[in-house]
Structure 1
Amino acid sequence: MIDYSEYLDFIKPIVEEAGKFIIDSFGSVHTLDHKFKFEFKTKVDDDINDFLLQAIQNKYPKHSILSEESTKPENFNDWVWIIDPLDGTLNFTLGVTDLFAISVALMYKEEIILGVTYAPIRKEIYYASKGHGAYKNNERLLASKEMELSESVVAIEYGKYDRTSILPYQKRLLENDGVLYTYVYCNASVPMCLVADQKIQSYLALELDLWDMAAGVIINREMGNIVTTISGDPWDISQRSVLVGSKYLSDDILNKFKNI
């Protein structure tokens, strides 16, 4: 098995350093730039993006980088860094919640092999590398406990392009002895980590980009959770949908979605 510790040891402190941009500006940024109708960014997004790009390019100049806030390269090599400099920009700008994070993953030959998600205001950093488990603040994340669907809290995400596309799934989750509650977090990185941390039991979305979910996928896989598409197919980097949850609940949730 390839040892990816070199890359994790490099990127984890870099992401923590980038978190200072958020800590120093939280509560003072109130202007959103619209990339398109339901996609936003701030100067902080750009500052973090520039900081991460420079650090990665200096260390690994031959690696490719795919970032939400940068021009997408036409061609990639085997090693690709995947960056969301500030997932949850709306939450950050409104200042009413701490549910936003920096998310960075590394892909090798189209397989996600490590991920780091850092929520600096929450003082929580989640990270994982293939074959070496998943961690939160240096404590290993344990496999999910068995739980009934009726006791479960599930996070959902509105579509980026069709805002209502998730609503039939939410309705199925809530009806007929369904889940306890559903939440919308306005980002993917934090709720995916909360699933890995067993704070909530599942997360699902229909319209995500790779930078939204890459780190969360490897973190959940490494702590033992199931990662599929919302239709139950194996998840890979070409997918736009994702369903993350424990082995005890994934089948029950997928059964709720039959014939949608």
Structure 2
Amino acid sequence: MQDKISLATEVAIKAVVEAGNLAKEYFFKEKEIVEKGEDGDVVTIVDHLAEKIILQSILAHFPDDQIRSEETGWSGNESDWLWLVDPLDGTNNYAIGLPVYGVSVTLIYKKEPVLGVIYDSHLGDLYVAQKDKGATLNGKPLSIGKNLKKTNKMTVGWIQGHLVQKDEKAMSLKHELDIEFKRVLRLWAPTLLWCMLARGDIDGIFLFNSEGDDLYSGILIAKEAGASIVDFNGGDFEGMNPEPYIIACHPEHKHSFINLVKQTLKLS
């Protein structure tokens, strides 16, 4: 198993760097932007070109694995091994010329993330995590570090699914976070938000029902860097969940963040 994960790491790193560099090359070119769905999302030519690079690389080395990718959906035969691919995380940023976008590849084994690779395409930063083996940034160990800030001096991230829209509970929680914290950051490139948490540059993430191909790489990298990842009731978040509600933060703040969510949403 470890031999496969080691090879998968090499393959994923090479593919995300190539895809990310292509995205940066196209950044100031015509992107052929097309609306995607009814919720304001968009797709560009780069999404498709970058996806092709990654899928071809995975299939060349692991033809028996299953893949779920942002643009092409499911492919391959059902397997214990599942690849999740987001070839351009932050497409809405990319489309308006905001240089906050990346590439995400996750390898899942029996519904448990075992490898996460994220490439910050514009900055050229590479994040890698293997389950129980820690996380790295450009090959150096990555740690969330210590965090002794008071709540009113913290910056936290907010992630919500496309279908959440103006959900009453979501808006209630977001409003409470705006009151409690110094800043609530909605980056529109979730994988890079998870990387910010792993670096210790933000103090937490609140995720409201946002499952997708960009989720589990970020969770694994943050977790391996030392973050606590729990659901809204305070239970450890493990495996995969089609409707996740997540709190991620430094372990020292876990209980206070859980209590904030429970009180706001009136959870038992």
Match of 1:241 among 245, 249, 256: 245
Equivalent residues in 2 for 1:43-58 (5 A)?
43-58=45-60
Q: Is the 8 A contact 1:80 1:107 kept in 2?
A: yes
Shift, 1:41, TM fit:
0.9
Q: Is the 8 A contact 2:18 2:53 kept in 1?
A: no
Bigger proportion of residues as helix: 2
Shift, 1:195, TM fit:
0.4
- Structure 1: gaps of 5 or more residues: none
Shift, 1:94, TM fit:
0.4
Question: Counterpart in 1 of 2:38?
Answer: 37
Question: Counterpart in 2 of 1:131?
Answer: 132
Q: Is the 8 A contact 2:127 2:137 kept in 1?
A: yes
Shift, 1:157, TM fit:
2.4
One-letter amino acid matched to 1:194: M
Distance 1:159 1:58 in 2: 32
Change (3 A) 1:214 1:78: same
Change (3 A) 1:248 1:70: same
Distance 2:209 2:194 in 1: 15
Q: Is the 8 A contact 2:19 2:50 kept in 1?
A: yes
State, as a whole percentage, how many aligned pairs show the same letter. 25
RMSD: 1.9
Q: Is the 8 A contact 1:158 1:164 kept in 2?
A: no
One-letter amino acid matched to 1:104: V
Shift, 1:75, TM fit:
5.6
In the alignment of these two chains, the number of paired residues is 257
Q: Is the 8 A contact 1:226 1:247 kept in 2?
A: yes
Change (3 A) 1:71 1:158: closer
Shift, 1:53, TM fit:
0.7
Match of 1:151 among 143, 150, 153: 153
- Structure 2: gaps of 5 or more residues: none
Match of 1:258 among 258, 262, 268: 262
1:190 aligns with 2:183: no
Q: Which runs of 4+ in 1 moved over 6 A?
A: none
Shift, 1:73, TM fit:
4.4
Aligned with 1:211: secondary structure? coil
Q: Is the 8 A contact 1:226 1:250 kept in 2?
A: yes
Distance 1:160 1:167 in 2: 14
Aligned with 2:127: secondary structure? strand
Of 13-22 and 86-95, deviating more is: 13-22
Of 230-239 and 146-155, deviating more is: 230-239
Q: Is the 8 A contact 1:106 1:114 kept in 2?
A: yes
Distance 1:242 1:183 in 2: 16
Q: Is the 8 A contact 2:144 2:197 kept in 1?
A: no
Question: Counterpart in 2 of 1:90?
Answer: 92
Shift, 1:74, TM fit:
8.6
Question: Counterpart in 2 of 1:60?
Answer: 62
Distance 1:74 1:10 in 2: 18
Aligned with 1:257: secondary structure? helix
Q: Is the 8 A contact 2:205 2:247 kept in 1?
A: yes
1:201-248 Cα distance to aligned partner (Å, 9 max, x none): 112221322312110011011111111224433323124333221101
Distance 1:221 1:5 in 2: 19
Aligned with 1:192: secondary structure? helix
Change (3 A) 1:119 1:37: same
Aligned with 1:248: secondary structure? helix
Equivalent residues in 2 for 1:72-221 (5 A)?
72-73=74-75, 76-95=78-97, 97-147=98-148, 148-165=150-167, 166-175=170-179, 178-221=180-223
Q: Is the 8 A contact 1:229 1:241 kept in 2?
A: yes
Q: Is the 8 A contact 1:91 1:186 kept in 2?
A: yes
Shift, 1:76, TM fit:
2.3
One-letter amino acid matched to 2:257: I
Q: Is the 8 A contact 1:30 1:94 kept in 2?
A: no
Distance 2:46 2:158 in 1: 26
Change (3 A) 1:201 1:29: farther
